[in-house]
Structure 1
């Protein structure tokens, strides 16, 4: 009896990218495959590889998702043109019918804090452009995006949610906005590396969390002035419970129950082992449930975190502004490094120019010569010396007993 060979599958990163492009969660994909969500996580992380009929069905599903993504990209220009025309028609109709209506109210915020694990199309060119399915060619062609356009797409996709997450991490709106902007500035400085990362949003998220939890933040001027707490009492109580947690526990709870990462990914992002991350998560849940017993259920905690983050009006700067700040910072640091190098070279040249060109031996210490008594320091006069001095002072300076030189 011959064993059926394992089907050829794309890399684990490509599997996850196809699922995220199709807007499917691991649970939804697992339901379509008839397996557990943990099995899908294992396939996408590379820990296991499906075989037999299960592997063939998984490969066929990935191929279908790739074809759907290609079809959506081909229909995007036509859909945008049609949507613009419909929007103009609808706007004209609404302007005619609601000219005298009451002022327009701002819509209620939608809790979107947790949907930041996906990647925007056109940011990472390694997984998407090199994705090759067995015998079916590439899943998508190379993107015609410039680095600035790809960065703007990443910023527009991840910045709003990252600002809300960082607000839950710090409890300060201005600090959250500044941390996210600084993280994106760092990403623009190292854009080739970030663009080729398997999860650019995760790279920026980790950098933003590091800036937000840095102990140097307490020395900034904005930390001297407290910010107003949330208006809702339930949101205020939840935020106080989060801020009472130690920073590592708070970050682990936010990544696992807020963002929705699995335990190995949470441990990797917090630079801890998986058992340590699990211990931090359990302790954080116990502390929050001790203050708010209704949040003992992880699903309820997830929903409350999303509501708390979405209730705040948090906005980040525009992508061109962030890129301009990053470029100005880079130019400043480059010029400072050049100025320091020039000053160092000038100081070295001046030292070489003014340094002596011959050897000057040091003066040896004094030695005692045999037969010559050492010089005695002047001290107090003896009794005879005092009498002689007084006698000399009492005598006249000029008199018959003194010789007077005669002129010749």
Structure 2
């Protein structure tokens, strides 16, 4: 992948990837940092990127894995600090400025949230979601169905008078 192709990939997908990762993890600054780091890694491996079928998917997967790794390190660091101090730190509540959808997405199990975001927000077909996640297509379909049902319940709880229509 040459510099012009890389620039085209970055310009075409950076904002979209930030939005998708934000929907998955619920923290825009963290999402943007992970996407930037993923692009830095893609640049470092740009010779290999020429043979990748879906470079944007590679960057998205890398960014997501970076976000999960950061979350795990923070979680572990918090536990170590709690043991050192002898107190349990409370996790902050979901910020009220988050949109209802992101707040509801954060309540889903990780596998369902990832499938929902990749299929409905990233607009990837089910077979590509399955390839990115490394799960069978049937499993992704089940995660999507369960995730949509859970989202409908969560969103209905937040807005009990609303009538939800299927698209």
What TM-score range do you get, normalising by the shorter chain?
A: 0.7 to 0.9
Which of residues 95, 98, 105 is equivalent to 1:229? 95
Contact 2:115/2:140 (<8 A) preserved: yes
1:202 corresponds to which residue?
Answer: 57
Measure how far apart 1:295 and its partner are.
5.0
TM-score (norm 2): 0.77
Cα distance in 2 between the residues matched to 1:185 and 1:237:
32
Measure how far apart 1:217 and its partner are.
4.6
Which of residues 113, 124, 129 is equivalent to 1:250? 113
Query: Quick one: structure 1 residues 296 and 279, their matched pair in 2 at CA, closer, same or farther if it must change by over 3 Å?
Result: farther
Q: Secondary structure at the match of 1:276?
A: helix
Contact 1:285/1:296 (<8 A) preserved: no
Which of residues 151, 164, 177 is equivalent to 2:19? 164
The answer for unaligned runs of 5 or more in structure 1 is 1-122, 124-146, 300-408
The answer for unaligned runs of 5 or more in structure 2 is 79-89, 157-162
Output the aligned Cα RMSD.
Answer: 2.5
Q: Write out aligned runs for 1:367-378 (5 A).
A: none
Query: Quick one: structure 1 residues 155 and 226, their matched pair in 2 at CA, closer, same or farther if it must change by over 3 Å?
Result: farther
1:380 corresponds to which residue?
Answer: none
Measure how far apart 1:195 and its partner are.
2.5
Cα distance in 1 between the residues matched to 2:65 and 2:119:
17
Measure how far apart 1:149 and its partner are.
2.9
Measure how far apart 1:218 and its partner are.
2.6
Cα distance in 2 between the residues matched to 1:228 and 1:245:
14
- Structure showing greater relative contact order (alpha-carbon pairs closer than 8 Å, 6 or more residues apart): 2
TM-score (norm 1): 0.33
Contact 1:255/1:266 (<8 A) preserved: yes
Q: Is 1:216 aligned to 2:79, yes or no? A: no
- Structure number with higher helix proportion: 2
Q: Secondary structure at the match of 2:99?
A: helix
Q: Secondary structure at the match of 1:291?
A: helix
- Length, aligned pairs only: 148
Measure how far apart 1:229 and its partner are.
3.2
Measure how far apart 1:228 and its partner are.
8.0
Cα distance per residue 1:262-300 (max 9 Å; x no partner): 111111111101111111111110110012245562x4x
Contact 1:182/1:208 (<8 A) preserved: yes
Cα distance in 2 between the residues matched to 1:262 and 1:228:
30
Give the structure with higher Rg (CA). Answer: 1
Q: Secondary structure at the match of 2:103?
A: helix
1:405 corresponds to which residue?
Answer: none
Cα distance per residue 1:374-398 (max 9 Å; x no partner): xxxxxxxxxxxxxxxxxxxxxxxxx
Cα distance in 1 between the residues matched to 2:116 and 2:60:
15
Q: Write out aligned runs for 1:175-194 (5 A).
A: 175-194=30-49
Query: Quick one: structure 1 residues 154 and 226, their matched pair in 2 at CA, closer, same or farther if it must change by over 3 Å?
Result: farther
Cα distance in 1 between the residues matched to 2:38 and 2:18:
11
Q: Is 1:291 aligned to 2:147, yes or no? A: no
